[in-house]
Structure 1
Amino acid sequence: MIHKIKALHDNGKGLSIRAISQELGLSRNTVRKYLRMEENAITEQIEDPSRTKRLDDHRDYLVHLLKQFPKLSAVKIARKLQAKVGDLPDLHPTF
């Protein structure tokens, strides 16, 4: 994705940050963040094995749900997952 963002921006000669965000379906802040970072730093960050996501343990079930019901809302997915596994980790921590 970073390569696509950098290619579309082309050091300011290509698309604007707003146009890239619309083209790729990303927020402008995400596009801006990736444009400021060096490609190797992003690659290292993404490939870091210590990085895990809170729902990684449930990935297979979530993928199954979305394949079976592609238009299922996030709220309904969360309810189905909660019914299956019980309490979910706090997905929206307060700061």
Structure 2
Amino acid sequence: MNGYWKSDSLLFVGKSGANFGYQKTLDNYYKGYPDTAAMGKLNFDLIQVKRLSPEYFFVLGKWHLKRSIGDVGGAYTLLFRKIKGEWVIVVDHSS
């Protein structure tokens, strides 16, 4: 989960709803993808990148997970924020 804000204020919204916090998001990731068969190969297609301000960027795209147990995919929106000179994801909505 490189690139995500390591903060209790990180917001991840997925099929189970909204979750706050880097650790909770990481724990949910490992729960949802416990092994390499579940993880598969993840690909992204960027649809739009929009600068909202000098401190924020909005990203819209599609994701596709190819795996032996069945492929899945959907859409995502990300909000990036520049914090202490680094761009990090502060909001991820993936469905």
Report the TM-score, using the length of structure 2 for normalisation.
0.22
Indicate the structure (1 or 2) with the bigger Cα radius of gyration.
1
Question: Normalized per residue, which structure has more helix?
Answer: 1
Question: Normalized per residue, which structure has more strand?
Answer: 2
Which structure would you say has the larger RCO, counting Cα contacts within 8 Å and 6 or more residues apart?
2
Report the TM-score, using the length of structure 1 for normalisation.
0.22
